Amino acid sequence: MPTTILLTSFQTWLPDQKSNASDDLLLKLQAENDPFPDQALSLTFLRQLPVDVFPASDLAIAKIKHLQPDVVICCGMAESRSRLTVEAGATPRYVVAQFYWFIYYIVLQKIFRFQGLSYFLSALLGNKTNVETHFLNTSVDLEELLEGLTETEMSYDAGKFVCEGLYYQVLSYLRDYAPTTGCIFVHVPVLTTENISTIMTDFRLILSRLAVWATIQRQNQIRDITTAA
């Protein structure tokens, strides 16, 4: 049974940007011929999400519902960073960035969730301590995932903007509806001829290790069901 991995990337958000590094990375991976010959991996790409939390989250979650992947890897660009960074988790503090999201939440959301509103108000009113208590961690052991990688490190700052917003929304959905599905967010530096080779090597290793992680999760789930029966 192949491991299904959904990978997402963003569009550009500034006029002078020719491309988004997260999309460049996925485009290069997508162009490779069988990058994982020794593993049963099925990769699905959801590229160039809009740089807007709720439309991007809606598209990603709709794809998750349809595909039911074993793992979700959301990718975004971090121009100021020089290495791949995998985010440990996310908070709802991104809502501070654009006040109109509050109007969207109240008026346009079909399902009104008071818990989500409380997260928003905490962030909007600047109650940092309260917001930080809503930190959602990835279920993936990042220390084990990143062990020995040369161009990748762990991060506890997902950016407080659209990247963190998407990550938080996806983690929240998976926590409530698909707790066995793993999810990480990878920030990608600007890709150059000097760094592309080592970054791609690390990224392939991350995917390969996540496939092993997902296999173990399935085995544990089957064992728990068998034991309960």
Look at the block and give the residue holding tokens 């161009």.
151
User: Is there a contact between 57 and 172 (Cβ–Cβ < 8 Å)?
Assistant: no
Q: Is 113 inside any structural domain? A: no
Q: What residues have CB less than 8 Å from 59, skipping those under 6 apart?
A: 46, 49, 50
Nearest Cα to Cα of residue 171 among 73, 47, 41: 73
Q: Which tens digit of pLDDT belongs to each residue from 141-159?
A: 999 999 999 999 999 999 8
Give the pair of three-digit tokens for residue 193.
């001829």
- State the pLDDT at residue 222: 74
Give me the domain span that covers residue 221: 3-91+135-228
In angstroms, the CA 7 to CA 43 distance is 7
Model confidence at 128, pLDDT cuts 50, 70, 90, reads very low
User: Is there a contact between 71 and 210 (Cβ–Cβ < 8 Å)?
Assistant: yes
Look at the block and give the residue holding tokens 């491991």.
3
Q: Which tops the pLDDT comparison, 103 or 73?
A: 73
| Domains contained in the chain, number | 1
The SS3 of residue 41 is strand
* 171 to 3, 92, 178, 198: CA distances (angstroms): 19, 11, 10, 28
State yes or no: pLDDT of 114 exceeds 60. no
In angstroms, the CA 88 to CA 154 distance is 7
- State the pLDDT at residue 102: 52
Question: Which CATH number does the domain housing residue 170 bear?
Answer: 3.40.630.20
Q: Is 109 inside any structural domain? A: no
Average pLDDT of the segment spanning 212-221: 87
Q: Is 156 inside any structural domain? A: yes
Q: Is 160 inside any structural domain? A: yes
